[in-house]
Amino acid sequence: MNNKQISILGCGWLGLPLAEFLIDKGYTVKGSTTSQTKEKTLKERNIIPFVFKLGESYDKTLMNDFFSDSEVIIINFPPKRIPNIFNVYQEQIKEVLPYIKPEQKVIFVSSTSVYQNTNDWVIETIENKPEKESGKAVLAVEQLLQAHLKNNLTILRLAGLIGYDRVPGRFLAKKKEVSNGKAPINVIHQDDCIGLIYAIISENAWGTVINGCADEHPLRETFYTLAAEKEGLIPPEFKASDSIEFKKISNTKSKTLLKYNYKYPDPLILVS
C-alpha cells in the first residue's frame, strides 16, 4: 500500500482544494467526481480522476481501482436534500464499504447537524438527537461506518462552511422576520477544514470523533448584518423579540488532540 496516496470520494467545494493541498504536501491523490465535464479539471490539477455516481450502475473495477493502494480514504460528500434522504445516504455508503480494506484509514467528513439544540456548549461525547432529516441521515452513516471500520475511522464534524465562494453575506440578505438573531453561530472556514483533515493524518488521530468549528461564536444578527453590508447587500431584518434555540460547538478537542491552531478563529474578521 502506498502511504503517500490518498483517495478523496467527492471533489467538490472542499474536496478539490483539499486534493490540491495534499498534492503540494507530496501526496498522490485520486479524486472522484460525478460529472464527466469535471474530469478535465481534476486532471489539470494533477488529481487522478475517477468518474462514477453512487446509486447508479458503474464499473466495479473502476471503483476498486479508486480505493486500492491508498493509505487514507476521505469520504467527503453530503447527503442530497431529497425526501428519502435517510435511506439513500446509507445505501450510498454501503456501496463503498466492500472496497475499503481493513488496513486502510478513513476520514468521514460529517456535520454538526448531528447535534440537537441544547442552549449550551456541545462536545463530541454528547448523546446525539438530531432534529432535521439531514442530521439524522448523517448520524446513521456515522454509525454505519463505525460498526464496519471501528478504530480505523475518524469522524470530523464540521460546522457551517464558509470561505471563498461561500460568501455569508448572500445567505440571508434582504430577508425579513429572520428568527434566532440573538443565537450564537457555528461556522468554519474552508482553510481550517483542510487544516484539520491534514492534522488528523499527520497526528495519526484515528478511531475518534472531532468537532471542527471556529473559536468564536458571534450572534447571528451581528454576523449576517455585517456580512451583507460588506458585500453591499441589504442586510436581513431580524425579529425584534424572539425566543432563541442554539448550540455552541466546542472545538477544544481539535486543538488539544490535533495540536491545531485555527487560521480563522473569529468569523467576524471575515465580515468586518
Q: Is residue 84 part of a domain?
A: yes
In sequence order, which residues have a C-beta less than 8 Å from that of residue 140 and are 6 or more positions away? 86, 89, 90
Q: Is residue 26 part of a domain?
A: no
CATH number at residue 209: 3.40.50.720
- Tell me the pLDDT tens digit for each residue of 46-99: 999 999 999 876 788 999 999 999 999 999 999 988 889 999 999 999 999 999
What per-residue confidence (pLDDT) applies to 130?
Answer: 97
DSSP 238: B
CA distance 108 to 98: 16
- The pTM (predicted TM-score) of the whole model is 0.96
- Tell me the pLDDT tens digit for each residue of 129-143: 999 999 999 999 999
φ and ψ at 80, to 5 degrees? -75, 145
Q: Is residue 29 part of a domain?
A: no
Q: Are 58 and 73 in contact (CB under 8 A)?
A: no
Domain carrying residue 104 = 78-166+188-215+247-263
- Dihedral (Cα; 192, 193, 197, 203), 10-degree rounding: 30
Per the structure, how many domains does the chain have?
1
> b/e string for 167-197 if b means 16 or more Cβ within 10 A?
bbbeebbeeeebebbbbbbbbbbbebbbbbb
- pLDDT (mean) for 2-27: 95
Is it the case that residue 1 has pLDDT exceeding 70? Answer: no
Residue type for 248, please? Answer: K
CA distance 35 to 46: 17
What per-residue confidence (pLDDT) applies to 200?
Answer: 98
Q: Is residue 258 part of a domain?
A: yes
CA distance 241 to 11: 42
- pLDDT (mean) for 117-138: 97
Q: Is residue 234 part of a domain?
A: no
DSSP 181: T
Q: Is residue 111 part of a domain?
A: yes
Q: Which cell is 59 given?
A: 464499473
DSSP 80: P
Q: Is residue 32 part of a domain?
A: no
